[in-house]
Amino acid sequence: MQLRDWIRNKKKTLARYAVVGIIATVTHYGLLILSVEYFGFPVLLASTVIFVFVASQNYVIHYNWTFDNVGPHTIAFPRFLGTAVAGAFLNWATMHVGIFGLGGNYLVVQFLAIVVVIVWNYLIVSLWIFPSDPSAEASN
């Protein structure tokens, strides 16, 4: 299957994933700025805690809307949780290296971290957590 065919087949899912991503990004940035600038929380702590909140929000929306409720929570949620933990680590590592290693602005580095995590999450979420063919998952 060509990339163009794959994108055509996934158009609805990709569009919904993008909408959820925009909501998540706006939520993450809003809470991050509020936490750091107004409440004085350390950037890495704030970003990590907010990541967990946003990941939980994303699970509910993806399960019920993006991927059309494709399987039981008993399978999807533990997988999503593992992916979220890995995503939180990717977010933390990108933020740590970008801010403390490279001296970047936390808002710019957060944008880069979000891009890294979005790519990671879409691949894992669409192929493993909410696959197009849940019957294929029965054998895994």
pLDDT in tens, 31-58: 999 999 999 999 999 988 998 899 889 8
Element spanning 113, H or E: helix 106-124
Instruction: Tell me, letter by letter, the H, E, C secondary structure of 5-49.
Output: HHHHHCHHHHHHHHHHHHHHHHHHHHHHHHHHHHCCCCHHHHHHH
Give residue-wise pLDDT tens across range 113-131: 988 988 888 888 777 877 7
**pLDDT(72) > 50:** yes
Name the DSSP letter for residue 104: -
The pLDDT score that the predictor gives to residue 1 is: 57
- The pTM of the full predicted model, rounded to 2 decimals, is 0.70
The pLDDT score that the predictor gives to residue 122 is: 81
